[in-house]
Amino acid sequence: MNTSLTNEKRFALRKKQPTPKQNLKRRKLSQKIAFGFFWLMGLIAIAVLFWIVGYVLAKGASSINLEFLTTRPAGGFDGEGGISTTIVTTIYLVLFTIVIAAPLGVGAGIYFVEYANEAQNHNKFVRWLIKTARTGVEILAGVPSIIFGLFGFAVFVSYMKLGFSLLSAGLSGACMVLPVIIRTTEEALLAVPDSYRQASLGLGATKWQTVTGVILPTALPGIVTGIVLSVGRIISETAVFWVTLGGSYRLPQNLMSSGRTLALHVYMLATETRAFDKALGTSAILIIIIILLNLAINITSRRFQKRLSGK
Amino acid sequence: MVITSLEEKKPNKSKIIARNFDLFYGDFQALKDINVTMPQNSITAIIGPSGCGKSTFLRSINRMNELIPSVKTSGEILMDGEDIYTQDVVELRKTVGMVFQRPNPFPKSIFDNVAYGPRAHGLKNKNILEELVEKSLTDAALWDEVKDDLHKSGLALSGGQQQRLCIARALAVEPQVILMDEPASALDPIATLKIEELIQNLKKEYTIVIVTHNMQQAARASDYTMVFNMYPDRSGYIVEYGETSQIFTNPREKTTEDYISGRFG
C-alpha cells in the first residue's frame, strides 16, 4: 500500500465514495429498463420465427396429402404432380455429399488440432502450408454459396465434363460444407480436456491410440452435430445445386443423372409456375425436416452429455 | 549445493539417478544442474516454492515435458542404469506411471478406465483383464467401494474416489515407478489421508516420487525429501536432498530451514 497518503486524505477519500442511498433508485431503474429491452428483443425474434414457420405450415398444409408426397412432379406451367422424386433426390444428394465431406472434414479437423502443433519441429515450408490451410478454412467458411456453385459449374460440370449430375452437385456441396465440418470438428476436439490426452499418453498409449481411444469418443457428439448441421445446409441449399444438379424432376438413375432437390423444387415452383400453393406445401415439408433434424441433434447430444458426466 | 550421499544407510539399490540434468523451455532454463539419486521402494517428496521447477522435474522422469514442443534437455536421467532419453517413450511410460494434480478419469466406465492402459499395450484376454482390474482397484483401495458398479462412469465417483481410480489406472500397466504431481491438492482432508495411506502401502512394490505443496504431507508420507528453489533468473535447482527426518529436523541449508518454517514460498 502507498504510504504517502495521510490519514485525513484517506478519510476524505472515503467520504467521496457515493453511497447506495444516493443512487440506488437510479441504478435499479436502469437495470429494469435494460432487462425489459432485452426481453422485448428476445420476444420479437421468437415472434418473427414463429410467424415465418407458422405462415408456411398453415398455408402449405392444404396442399400436403399422401398423393402429394408419393407422386412425381409432372412439370408444366401449373406445377402438376407431387414431390416424391425430389424427396428421393434430396436423400441421395445428402448421403453422397456427406460420404465425401465427412471423412475429409473430420480428418482435416483432427490433423489441425492433434497433429499440426507438432509442426514446430517441421521446416518453414510445412509450417507455412499449415498456416495457409488454417486461414483458407476460415475464409471458405464465409464464402457465399453461389461461389461454390460457380466453382462447381466451372470445374466439375464443364471442365471435368461431369455435366449436371448428382456427382457434380455432390462434389460442389462437399466443398461448401467442408469448412463447416472442419470447424465443428476442431471445436469439438479443442473442448476435450488436455488432461485426457496427458493421462492416456502417460499410460504409454501412442498418439493414435490416444486419438481413437479417448479423444474421438469424447468429441463425437460435437463432430456428429457438425455433420448434421451440414446435412441441414445441403437440404436447404439452392444456389449451388441450381448450377450443378440441373433441374430434372425425374428420379436419378445413377450418379451421372440430373435431379432436383426439395429446396430447388420450391425455387422452381415459385419462379417458373403458378403453383405457389405447392411451393408453400413443399416448403412446409422442408421446414418439418429441418425441425426434426434439430430435435435429433438436441436429443443425441443431451444423451451423450449425460453419459459423459456419468449421471 | 549439498547432495547427501544416501548409499551408506540404504539397503535399497538406486532406481532413478539424475546427472547434470538441465531443462530449457526455449531460451528459458527451468532446471539447472540437477543431481540426485532416488532409491528403489522409497517415497521421495519434492517440495519448494511455486514456479521453481518441481513439476517440471517430475515430468522429466517420464518425458511428459516433451508434449511442449520447445522443451530441450541436457545431461541424463538414468533408470536402472539406462538413459531414459534414449529409450522409446512408450516403453518408458509403461515403466513410469503418472498421477496428476486433478483427478482425470476418462469419460468411460470404471472398468474401462482401469483396463485402458493394458488394452493399449495389447492385452485382449477378458479374464486376465478382469483379474488385472480387480487387483489394481484393490491396490488402490477402491475395490470394495466400486466392485458392484464397474460399469458406471468413472466421472460419477467423488473426487477422492476419482483420484484413487486414476491411481488404479496407473497401477494396471504394472509400472515400477509412480510419479505423483500434487495428487491430493484438489481433495478434502479425509480423502487426502486415504491417498497418503495408500501411498505408504504402494511403496512395497513401487518407487514413488511425489510433488507436494503441503509440508506436513511431505513430513508424514515420505522417506526422502528434495527441496527445490530458484535462482534470481528463475531457473530451478535442488537446495538440499536427504532423509525426510533430517531435512525437517536438522536441515543443512539456511534456505531449507526458511522454507519449511514458512518464511518464504
What is chain A's pLDDT, residue by residue, as a tens digit (311 residues)?
Answer: 556 778 888 888 888 888 888 889 999 999 999 999 999 999 999 999 999 999 999 999 888 888 888 888 887 777 788 898 999 999 999 999 999 999 999 999 999 999 887 766 667 888 888 889 989 999 998 999 999 999 999 999 999 999 999 999 999 999 999 999 999 999 999 999 999 999 999 999 999 999 999 999 999 888 988 999 999 999 999 999 999 998 888 888 888 889 999 999 999 988 888 888 889 999 999 999 999 988 988 888 788 777 666 54
Report the pLDDT value the prediction gives residue A120, as an integer from 0 to 100. Answer: 63
Are A246 and A145 in contact by the 8 Å Cβ rule? The answer is: no
- For residue A195, list chain B residues with Cβ-Cβ distance below 8 A: 100, 102, 104
d(CA B228, CA A116): 35
Over residues B199-221, the pLDDT tens digits come to: 999 999 999 999 998 888 888 88
Q: Tell me, what DSSP letter sits at residue A2?
A: -
Domain boundaries of chain A, sorted by first residue: 87-261
Averaged over B100-120, what is the pLDDT? 94
- Chain A CB within 8 Å of residue B59 CB: no
The torsion angle over the Cα atoms of residues A262, A268, A269 and A272, rounded to 10 degrees, is: -170
Domain boundaries of chain B, sorted by first residue: 2-104+175-260
Which of A299, A261, A300 has its CA nearest to residue A283?
A261
Element (H, E) at B38: strand B28-39
Q: What's chain B's average pLDDT? A: 90
Q: At residue B129, does pLDDT exceed 90?
A: yes
Q: At residue B105, does pLDDT exceed 90?
A: yes
Q: Three-state DSSP class for A115? A: helix
Binary contact (B94, A200; C-beta < 8 A): no
- Chain B CB within 8 Å of residue A254 CB: no
pLDDT-derived band at B58, boundaries 50, 70, 90: very high
Q: At residue B45, does pLDDT exceed 80?
A: yes
Residues 6+ apart with CB under 8 A from B80: B15
Report the pLDDT value the prediction gives residue A272, as an integer from 0 to 100. Answer: 86
DSSP tally for chain B: helices H, then strands E: 10, 11
d(CA A175, CA B240): 62
- Chain A CB within 8 Å of residue B152 CB: yes
For chain B, percent of residues with pLDDT exceeding 90:
69
Classify the phi-psi angles of A79: left when phi > 0, otherwise alpha if psi is within -120 to 50, otherwise beta.
Answer: left
The whole-model pTM stands at 0.83
pLDDT-derived band at B9, boundaries 50, 70, 90: very low
Of A196, A197, A202, the CB nearest to B98: A202
Q: Please, what is the angle between helix B110-120 and helix B159-172, to 10°? A: 30
d(CA B45, CA B244): 8
A87-261: which CATH topology? Answer: MetI-like fold (1.10.3720)
- Minimal CA separation from A223 to chain B, in Å: 17
Task: CATH number for B2-104+175-260: choose from 3.60.15.10, 3.40.50.1980, 3.30.565.10, 3.40.50.300.
Answer: 3.40.50.300
d(CA A39, CA B134): 56
- Chain A CB within 8 Å of residue B236 CB: no
Mutate to test the interface with A, among B25, B99, B106, B174 (most CBs of A within 10 A): B106
Q: Three-state DSSP class for A261? A: coil
Binary contact (B154, A199; C-beta < 8 A): no
Of B102, B107, B117, the CB nearest to A308: B107
Averaged over B118-135, what is the pLDDT? 95
Q: Three-state DSSP class for B238? A: strand
Decide which of B2 and A306 is more confident.
Answer: A306
- Chain B CB within 8 Å of residue A22 CB: no
Report the pLDDT value the prediction gives residue A177, as an integer from 0 to 100. Answer: 95
DSSP string, A176-240: HHHHHHHHHHHHHHHTS-HHHHHHHHHTT--HHHHIIIIIHHHHHHHHHHHHHHHHHHHHH--HH
Buried b (16+ CB within 10 A) or exposed e, A127-151: eeebeeeeeebeebeeeebeebbbb
